[in-house]
């Protein structure tokens, strides 16, 4: 059941977007606040109708302004998680979940609440739940409708950083159970890169870039819209061991990576977001350097930017990382595609929430 979305409008909210989301795929709509990404999500849910738009799931038309098809929200089988959750304040968690079912089924509600790690809180009203717990109820309520498309509107923006990391992990784990297309609206590029398979970048209502997260990251138009400082690559790694000095050693095909302690058992596969502006390049393997991480690779591509910088793609076996250095530095090193190079990364430059890991259980 693929979700297909097309929307065009000049006013009152300008829109120009066209994308598809495959079953089980998570697509992130990324853009600054006010860019129109939430309007696109509301268009899918039926809460907004642009002048010209088409929305269909698995061939079923929800909206086609040309053919005058426009199902109201309650007749579109979509699950929407609102930014502030919009829980029904007079209902318990379980009642909130059952409110989205055609026929209230307490056993099914309990099963869904278990799925989002809310066991034991079914009888609490929203006012007595923490922000993270409210978000989980909102996700459970959206899933209770057996949605053909799951829509998440900035679902992590109203919680603190620690809760956000935990909820990120839960969404990753939950995805194993989700067979429908998922659309995540976020202004946080890190979040999009951590969670999404593909990204659509929205700027002033216009879709400026679309593709896999790696493709979008290599797209200068996307970087202009998101901000060049968001340029980063996701490097897969395996947790090897937790060291006594508080660091965790990860193994990558290009060599070991030392990062501040990661809460994952040895053997767990993670992906590390490496910011391009944190990477230093050296032709020779450096000695006497404080940086702990030196990964050997090959330059595959050098893309000049609009300013004084260039973007260097470095292949590490099957993977690729990005480095953003000055044009002057690239010239001094005489870097050319095919050259061997060492990528240097400070351990401390990788933030805790830049590590994507599957989480299986959690509370709090």
For another protein, the binding residues (CB under 8 A) are: 45-47, 72-75, 77-80, 82, 84, 86-90, 99-100, 102, 125, 127, 141-142, 144-145
Residue 10 Cβ vs another protein, minimum distance, rounded to whole Å = 22
Residue 173 Cβ vs another protein, minimum distance, rounded to whole Å = 24
**Torsion angles phi and psi, residue 171, rounded to 5:** -65, -40
Q: Which is nearer to another protein, 101 or 333 (CB)?
A: 101
Q: Which is nearer to another protein, 142 or 185 (CB)?
A: 142
Residues written for the chain: 364
CA 334, distance to chain mean position in Å, is 36
- Burial category of 246 from C-beta neighbours within 10 Å (exposed 0-12, middle 13-18, buried 19 and up): exposed
H helix runs in 233-342, sequence order: 327-333
Residue 150 Cβ vs another protein, minimum distance, rounded to whole Å = 11
Q: Which is nearer to another protein, 100 or 275 (CB)?
A: 100
Residue 344 Cβ vs another protein, minimum distance, rounded to whole Å = 47
Q: Which is nearer to another protein, 73 or 211 (CB)?
A: 73
Q: Which is nearer to another protein, 59 or 72 (CB)?
A: 72
The tokens of 205 are what? 């209502």
Residue 45 Cβ vs another protein, minimum distance, rounded to whole Å = 6
Residue 86 Cβ vs another protein, minimum distance, rounded to whole Å = 4
Torsion of CA 57, 60, 64, 70, to 10 degrees: -100
CB 192 within 8 A of CB 186: yes
Q: Which is nearer to another protein, 46 or 181 (CB)?
A: 46
Element of type H or E holding 303: strand 293-304
Q: Euclidean distance between the first and final Cα of the chain, in Å?
A: 34
Residue 185 Cβ vs another protein, minimum distance, rounded to whole Å = 14
Q: Which is nearer to another protein, 19 or 82 (CB)?
A: 82
The tokens of 45 are what? 């849910």
**CB within 8 Å of 61: residues ≥ 6 apart:** 54, 55, 67, 69, 71
Residue 111 Cβ vs another protein, minimum distance, rounded to whole Å = 18
CB 159 within 8 A of CB 4: no
The tokens of 297 are what? 């690779």
Residue 320 Cβ vs another protein, minimum distance, rounded to whole Å = 39
Q: Which is nearer to another protein, 79 or 297 (CB)?
A: 79
Cα Rg for the chain, rounded, in angstroms? 22
Cα dist from 135 to 79, 89, 186, 299, whole Å:
13, 13, 15, 43
CB 140 within 8 A of CB 150: no
72: number of CA atoms within 13 Å, CB side? 1
Q: Which is nearer to another protein, 149 or 345 (CB)?
A: 149
């Amino acid at each position: 059941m693929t979700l297909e979305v097309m929307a065009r409008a000049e006013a009152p909210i300008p829109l120009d977007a066209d994308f598809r989301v495959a079953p089980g795929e998570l697509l992130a709509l990324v853009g600054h606040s006010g860019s129109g990404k939430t309007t696109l999500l509301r268009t899918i849910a039926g809460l907004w109708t642009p002048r010209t738009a088409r929305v269909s799931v698995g061939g079923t038309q929800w909206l086609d302004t040309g053919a005058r098809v426009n199902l109201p929200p309650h007749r579109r089988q979509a699950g929407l998680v609102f930014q502030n959750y919009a829980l029904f304040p007079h209902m318990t968690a379980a009642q909130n979940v059952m409110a989205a079912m055609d026929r209230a089924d307490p056993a099914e509600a309990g099963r869904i609440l278990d799925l989002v790690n809310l066991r034991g809180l079914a009888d609490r009203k929203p006012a007595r739940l923490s922000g993270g717990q409210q978000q989980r109820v909102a996700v459970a309520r959206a899933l209770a409708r057996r949605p053909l498309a799951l829509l998440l509107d900035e679902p992590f923006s109203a919680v603190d950083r620690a809760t956000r990391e935990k909820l990120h992990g839960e969404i990753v784990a939950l995805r194993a159970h989700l067979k429908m297309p998922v659309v995540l609206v976020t202004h946080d590029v890190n979040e999009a890169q951590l969670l999404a398979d593909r990204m659509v970048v929205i700027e002033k209502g216009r879709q400026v870039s679309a593709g896999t997260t790696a493709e979008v990251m290599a797209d200068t138009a996307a970087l202009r819209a998101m901000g060049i400082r968001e340029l980063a690559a996701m490097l897969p790694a395996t947790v090897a061991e937790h060291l006594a000095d508080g660091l965790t050693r990860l193994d990558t095909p290009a060599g070991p990576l030392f990062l501040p302690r990661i809460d994952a058992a040895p053997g767990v596969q993670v992906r590390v977001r490496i910011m391009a502006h944190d990477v230093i390049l050296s032709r020779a393997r450096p000695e006497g350097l404080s940086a702990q991480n030196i990964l050997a690779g090959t330059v595959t591509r050098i893309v000049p930017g609009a300013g004084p910088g260039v973007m260097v793609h470095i292949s590490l076996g099957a993977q690729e990382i990005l480095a953003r250095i000055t044009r002057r530095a690239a010239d001094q090193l005489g870097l050319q595609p095919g050259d061997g190079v060492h990528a240097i990364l400070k351990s401390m430059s990788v933030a805790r929430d830049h590590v994507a890991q599957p989480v299986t259980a959690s509370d709090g």
